[in-house]
């Protein structure tokens, strides 16, 4: 069976390479009895993959049972999964078979497996290792032959670190991993899904099919669907029922899209608890924004120089002085204030850094060109002079590594 035939059989819409890869893995692993762990965000459609695996396996004529572990109370989940004997607890008026006994020879899908209590995880681990289990309140060991497919939208590695999930169970379940991509990584599929949902709701509610104009279609494709396919389906249903106008424009569509998700700033979304965590990309953007601000401030200073070209030897505005002080680190004492002056004694404008307690003549000799390269070279020379050629101390003063300092000395031919 081809991937397209699988899509047609199970009603899967989309042509994303990531989606095709997930389907292909399910197809390849289906004939085996390997345990599969399906991961992905809530609303991505993880529940269809265990159905594919069961239908394409040798167990397809056996029982298929889907269990939502997060929906079963902690006090009864062992009874639901493994069964119980009569009188094993207060409401146990008769013996009952559990899912693992009923599904013998078939497949069990454990959805939201990370919500399973630790005691139940230990029982599940025994089933995976030996196929053995015991009913609640019983002393007799039973055998079962079931294929286990599990799914979760939780970051299990984090759950393991917090002591909420057994590491040995994770490696047992994760024999073959399948990751279902979020909808924002399948942008080419968003409009296809919308059209399918619009057609379905048109038939269901017996009304004309809604259609998007070009601008609304672009808005939909660029939207960050945090609820994934489920959210897209709900929005399509809302518009189909509420809007009398069947040609949907961008303003109409935007009223159904939560504004908090319209921003397309790059971000990484993992599990439910990761959305506010900083990562390397976030830090990189922060650094870039800070650099942009510094460059903007530097431009203002240059404009200030040009506009005041006829006012020789006048001090800069105090705010500009602070910015220059930030951009060009002073090698001398940190406490000594810096006097900044403008001069046109040469063809190129010069900015001189002059500690206020030094003679003006010395400061003139230590004028630094307004280029960053010239300022860098001058600062390196002054640092080396201050520490009498000791590169380690000079590098520390300049805030760079000794290796970088050596490279700069070679680059500027500083002896």
Least confident of 235-244, 312-321, 379-388: 312-321
Contact 186, 18 (CB under 8 A): yes
Greatest alpha-carbon span in the chain = 103
pTM above 0.95, yes or no: no
The predicted pLDDT at position 129 comes to 94
Residues 128 and 203 in one domain: no
Residues 53 and 157 in one domain: yes
Domain end, chosen from 121, 155, 179, is at 179
Residues 222 and 290 in one domain: no
Residues 247 and 367 in one domain: no
Continuous H helices in 162-211: 167-173, 187-205
Q: What mean pLDDT value characterizes the chain?
A: 80
The predicted pLDDT at position 174 comes to 94
Average pLDDT (96-103) is 93
Q: Tell me the pairing of strands 367-369 and 350-355.
A: antiparallel
Least confident of 70-74, 168-172, 381-385: 381-385
Q: Is 310's pLDDT higher than 60?
A: no
The predicted pLDDT at position 80 comes to 93
User: To 10 degrees, the CA torsion angle through 266, 268, 274, 277?
Assistant: -60
Residues 80 and 212 in one domain: no
Q: Rg of the chain's alpha carbons, rounded to an integer?
A: 34
Question: Is 165 part of any domain?
Answer: yes
pLDDT in tens, 161-187: 999 999 999 999 999 999 999 999 999
Q: Is 331's pLDDT higher than 80?
A: no
Residues 106 and 195 in one domain: no
Residues 381 and 395 in one domain: yes
Residues 171 and 210 in one domain: no
Q: pLDDT tier at 361 (50, 70, 90 boundaries)? A: very low
Residues 171 and 214 in one domain: no
The predicted pLDDT at position 359 comes to 44
Q: How many domains does the chain have?
A: 3
Structural domain range at position 241: 184-261
Domain end, chosen from 157, 179, 201, is at 179
The predicted pLDDT at position 282 comes to 53
Q: pLDDT tier at 372 (50, 70, 90 boundaries)? A: low
3-state secondary structure of 66: strand
């Amino acid at each position: 069976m081809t991937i397209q035939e699988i899509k047609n059989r199970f009603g899967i819409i989309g042509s994303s390479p990531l989606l095709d890869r997930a389907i292909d893995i399910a197809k390849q692993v289906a004939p085996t009895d390997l345990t599969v762990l399906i991961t992905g965000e809530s609303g991505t459609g993880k529940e269809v993959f265990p159905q594919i695996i069961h239908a394409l396996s040798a167990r397809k004529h056996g029982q298929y049972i889907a269990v939502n572990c997060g929906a079963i109370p902690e006090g009864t989940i062992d009874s639901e999964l493994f069964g119980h004997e009569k009188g094993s607890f207060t409401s146990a008026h008769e013996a009952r078979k559990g899912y693992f006994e009923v599904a013998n020879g078939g497949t069990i899908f454990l959805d939201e497996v990370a919500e399973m209590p630790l005691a139940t995880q230990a029982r599940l681990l025994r089933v995976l290792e030996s196929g053995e289990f015991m009913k609640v309140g019983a002393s007799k060991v039973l055998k079962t032959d079931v294929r286990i497919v599990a799914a979760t939208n939780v970051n299990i590695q984090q759950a393991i670190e917090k002591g909420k999930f057994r590491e040995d169970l994770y490696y047992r379940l994760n024999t073959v991993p399948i990751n279902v991509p979020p909808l924002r990584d399948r942008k080419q599929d968003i409009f296809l899904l919308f059209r399918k949902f619009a057609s379905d709701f048109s038939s269901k509610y017996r009304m004309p099919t809604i259609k998007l104009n070009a601008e609304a279609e672009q808005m939909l494709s660029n939207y960050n669907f945090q609820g994934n396919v489920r959210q897209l389906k709900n929005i399509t249903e809302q518009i189909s029922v509420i809007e009398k106008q069947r040609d949907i424009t961008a303003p109409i569509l935007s009223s159904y899209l939560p504004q908090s998700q319209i921003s397309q700033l790059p971000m990484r979304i993992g599990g439910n608890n990761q959305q506010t965590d900083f990562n390397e990309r976030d830090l990189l953007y922060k650094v870039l924004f800070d650099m942009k601000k510094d460059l903007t401030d530097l431009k203002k200073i240059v404009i200030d120089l040009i506009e005041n070209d006829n006012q020789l030897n006048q001090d800069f505005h105090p705010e500009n002085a602070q910015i220059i002080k930030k951009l060009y680190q002073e090698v001398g004492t940190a406490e000594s204030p810096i006097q900044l002056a403008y001069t046109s004694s040469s063809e190129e404008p010069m900015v001189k850094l002059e500690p206020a307690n030094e003679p003006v003549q010395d400061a003139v000799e230590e004028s630094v060109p307004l280029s960053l390269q010239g300022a860098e070279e001058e600062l390196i020379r002054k640092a080396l002079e201050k520490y009498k050629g000791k590169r380690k101390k000079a590098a520390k003063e300049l805030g760079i590594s000794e290796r970088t300092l050596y490279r700069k000395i070679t680059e500027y031919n500083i002896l």
